[in-house]
Every structure is written in C-alpha cells, then in structure tokens.
Amino acid sequence: MELIDATVVMTALPQMGVELGVPSVRMNLVVSLYLLAAALAVPVSGWAADRFGPRRLFVLAMVLFTLSSLACALAGSLLQLCLARLCQGAAGAMMVPVGMMILLRWSPREDLLRNMSYLTIPPLIGPMLGPPLGGLMVTLLSWQWIFLVNLPIGVLGIYLVLRHIPDYPGASDRPLDGRGLLLSSVALGALVFGFEALGHGLLARRWVAVLLVLGALAALLYVRHARRCAQPLLDFSPLRVRSFALSYWGGNLFRLGTAAQPFLMVLLFQLCFGLSPLQAGLLTFTGGVGAFVVKLLAVRIVRRLGFRRTLSLNAVMTGLSLLACARFDLDTPYWLVVLVLFCSGLIRSLQFSAMGGLTYADVPARLHSRASSLSAATVQLTMSVSVGIAASLLGVLMSLKAEQQVGVGDIATVMGVCAVVCMASALVFRHLAPEAGRDVYR
C-alpha cells in the first residue's frame, strides 16, 4: 500500500490539477512532498520502535496512513492535499523499517531467507503497479479512489497486526539524538528532494545545486556527529558486521543501476513509442509479474549456490537484462518486450531476495532496529539518486545533440550506463566469504 502510493498519483495528476484549479506542473508537489516526508521520517523510525515497541508504532503508522489517505481524498485544494500527503509519506516511512524489524525479531533464523523473499515483492511490484492502477482508476472512477482504496486495506492490515504480531516491549532508556535527527533529516530531505527535482524538472538547476550541496554538507556533519555520539539516531555500527557491510554497499550500487529502469521504460514507451500512460504502465508491470515466480525458487537457488555466487552471477545477469531492454525499438514485437521485462523482473527479484536474507543474517538482535533504519534511509536516497542521475544524463545527451525531444538512442545509452553500474556490484559481492549467511537457508 505504501509503495504503490508513492507512484500511483503520477497518471492522475492532470485530472487532479483540473479539479483543484491548479496548473499541472505544480501538481508534481503531490509526489515530491510524499517522498520528502518519507525521507524526513525514516531516521527516527528505529529509535521510536525501540522506545515505544515495534507493534505499537507499526499500528500507529498504519492508522495515520489510512487517515491521511482519507484526508487526501477529501482535499479541496492543493494546500490541503499537500499537507495530507506529507502525513501519508511520514506514516509510510515508519511502516517499512518497523515492519522489517518485526520480521527480524519474529522469524526463525533458518526461515529468514524464505520470509525475506516474500517481503521483497512489494518493492518490486509497487513502483510498477502504481502508474497503471492510477490510470485505470482515473479512467473508470475518479482520482479520489486512488486514496479511498487504502481504507479497507488499512483497516484489514491493522486487524491482522493486532491479531498476529507479538507485542514486543519498548526500551525506555535510549535517549533521542536531537542533533542527529536535525542533521540526518536535513541531509536526507535535501538530497532526496534535490535528486527528485533534478529528475523531474521541478526546480531551476541553481536551486537543485543548492539543495544537493546543503544535503551533502549536512550528511558530512552527521557522519562526524555519529562518530562522537554514544547512541546516534542513524547508527553505523552494523557496518562492522562484514556480511551486512558488503550487502549494504553492494546492494546500494545494485539499486543505483536498477532503480531508474521503470522511469526510463515509461519514457521510452510514452515519448518514443507513443503509447498511452496506461499502456506503458501495463507493459512495465510485466516486469513485476516475474517477481512472484522466483519466490518459489529463491531458497533452493541460494542453498545450491550460496550467497556469494548467487549475488555475483545475478548482478551480471541483471546488467545483461538491462542491456537487452536498451535494444528495444519501434520494430521490437510486443511479445518480446513482455518476455524480456518478465525475465528482468524475475532476475531482479532473486537478487533482492538474496540481498534481503544476507543483509541481516549475521546482525545481532540488539542492532536490528538500527540496521533496518540505516538500510531504509539509504534505499530511499539511492532510488532518488538513480532517477536523478538518469534524468541528468538524458539532459546532457539531448543538449549535446541540440535536441528538444529525448530519443531511443539517448535512453539506450543511459540504460547501458545503468547496466555497467549494476554489474559492478558483482565485484563487491565477490568479497563475501563462501559460507556467508549459511545459517538462514539451511
């Protein structure tokens, strides 16, 4: 629900702008403010879960997300809608790392890889399902239903959490790192919003540069602060665990190369091939279908090959699948496009499943909340950076050719760069020990 809502409004923005009496270009705030609020709220999620208990915070976040969805549907102006989206993004940011923490505490160690493989389905399906679902609802109903559909899902989710998830107690002795909260929020907020603005042309380039410089400076100050603070808000101590560190750095490099794929494919299908937003969304969604198929095989593959070999080989295969997507043109049959995207989604799903199982395999229980918060914060940032860099490369290629319209060759070039970055992550995964994470898939 949270990951779909990050992108579902994209195809509904023109109709929302008409009904609210606002130019369509200003409606991009509805998407950007959601991501900004999520970036600001992620750092404090781990502390809040430790302080008040993960189930209590998880339920509170789901209640706030559901009520914010209702407020979005009832909004009568852009200001009201933006305020509701800020609350929705903050609540969504709380749900993801806290849900991860609950899974880590509750799941038997030998089942961790299997359970994590199912938890990786939403990150793959959400961004792909959002645009076609939004287009379908706007076409058949109205834009308000994009948010109203969350109400029954939220109520059901709250009921299931209260019924099935243990009420782990909180720890009242961990103080809030106020300075760390300020620095990390400024760093993540400025960097995420800056790269989002760069990717979608929301601000003039000079203001984007100001945001990125501010974010980088705040990030450096936070790193300095975290080294001196006894209990920093975003704790880097999980990086001392070798398997977590290699999975963390290799995973971020992998996401940097793959996160822009849905953005690039939509541009290719809509601007270059002339497809409608709904048609483009349905084509890109086929990549998410492959995510379900590999869940039945992920544990067997990792058990046979081990984490090091699986992650290294699969990173290369993912890069090759991106290169195959870069070969699409107007003469490519739709059945071949669907087949390549399906295989690409299947390969990426296996990679995310393996990375999810390895990331927390050797992390001590006392560091679970800190590891999940650190991972969630960098995932949010890496995805925005990926789209921002891809859009910037497209802009450079267009300016070099003195063109006003992005071309198939431009997108293919950027896709090739993404493929190289993705395959480079294999060099990081090769440093894993052969027996790394073996306990989670025996």
pLDDT in single tens digits along all 442 residues of the chain:
777 776 666 666 667 777 777 765 566 667 767 777 777 777 777 778 777 778 888 899 999 999 999 998 888 888 888 888 888 888 887 887 777 777 777 777 667 767 776 776 666 666 566 666 666 666 677 778 888 888 998 899 899 988 888 887 766 666 777 888 888 888 877 887 777 666 556 667 788 788 889 888 988 998 888 888 777 777 788 888 888 888 889 888 998 888 877 777 777 877 777 776 666 666 766 666 666 666 667 777 877 888 888 889 989 999 998 999 888 888 888 888 888 888 887 888 788 878 877 777 777 777 777 777 777 777 777 876 777 778 778 777 877 777 767 777 888 888 899 999 999 999 999 888 877 766 665 5
pLDDT the model gives residue 14: 64
Dig out the tokens for 407 from the structure. Answer: 């071309």
Do both 198 and 227 map to the same domain? yes
* 198 and 302 together in one domain: no
Burial label for 275, CB within 10 Å (0-12, 13-18, 19+), is middle
Report the domain count for the chain.
Answer: 3
- Are residue 247 and residue 272 in the same domain, yes or no? yes
CB 389 within 8 A of CB 272: no
The confidence score (pLDDT) of residue 139 equals: 66
In terms of Cα–Cα distance, which of 428, 99, 433 is closest to 256? Answer: 428
Supply 235's token pair. 């704790």
- Among 211, 232, 253, which residue terminates a domain? 232
294 plus 407 within the same structural domain: yes
- 86 and 56 part of one domain: yes
Question: For the domain that residue 296 is a member of, what is the CATH number?
Answer: 1.20.1250.20
Q: Do 324 and 348 contact (CB within 8 A), yes or no?
A: no
Nearest to 378 by CA among 99, 187, 102, 101: 187
Q: How many CB atoms lie within 10 A of CB 80?
A: 14
Q: Which residues contact 389 (CB under 8 A, 6 or more apart)?
A: 195, 256, 260
Per-residue pLDDT at 71: 92
At which of 232, 257, 273 does a domain end? 232
Rounded CA-CA distance 437/351 in Å is 15
Residues 295 and 338 in one domain: yes
Q: Which of 175, 197, 218 is the last residue of a domain?
A: 175
- What dihedral angle (degrees, nearest 10) is formed by the CA atoms of 210, 204, 405, 253? 20
The Cα 364–Cα 354 span in angstroms is 19
Structure tokens at 27: 């409606």
Please check whether residues 310 and 403 belong to one and the same domain: yes
Q: What is the pLDDT of residue 65?
A: 92
Query: For residues 389 and 397, what is the distance between their CA atoms, to the nearest angstrom?
Result: 12
Q: Identity (one letter) of the amino acid at 22? A: V
> Do 163 and 185 lie in a common domain?
no
Q: Are residues 222 and 103 in the same domain?
A: no
Domain identity same for 223 and 250: no
pLDDT at residue 159, rounded to an integer: 92
Between the CA of residue 77 and those of 19, 54, 74, what are the distances in Å?
9, 35, 9
**pLDDT for position 13:** 65
* pLDDT for position 26: 62
Q: What is the 3-state secondary structure (H, E, C) of 36-83?
A: HHHHHHHHHHHHHHHHHCHHHHHHHHHHHHHHHHHHHHHCCCHHHHHH
The verdict on 109 and 26 lying in the same domain is yes
Q: How far apart, in whole angstroms, are the C-alpha atoms of residue 101 and residue 97?
A: 6
Structure tokens at 76: 């009568």
Find tokens 């750092």 and name the residue.
Answer: 43
Q: In the numeric block, which tokens belong to residue 6?
A: 């990050």
Q: 47 and 103 share a domain?
A: yes
What would the two tokens of residue 229 be?
């603070």
What is this structure's pTM? 0.75
* Number of neighbours of residue 96 by Cβ within 10 angstroms: 23
Residue 293 structural domain = 236-442
Structure tokens at 421: 């970055």
**30 CB contacts (<8 Å, ≥6 apart)?**
9, 13, 16, 78, 81, 82, 85
* CB neighbours of residue 219 within 10 Å: 18
Name the residue among 361, 93, 112 with its Cα closest to residue 247: 361
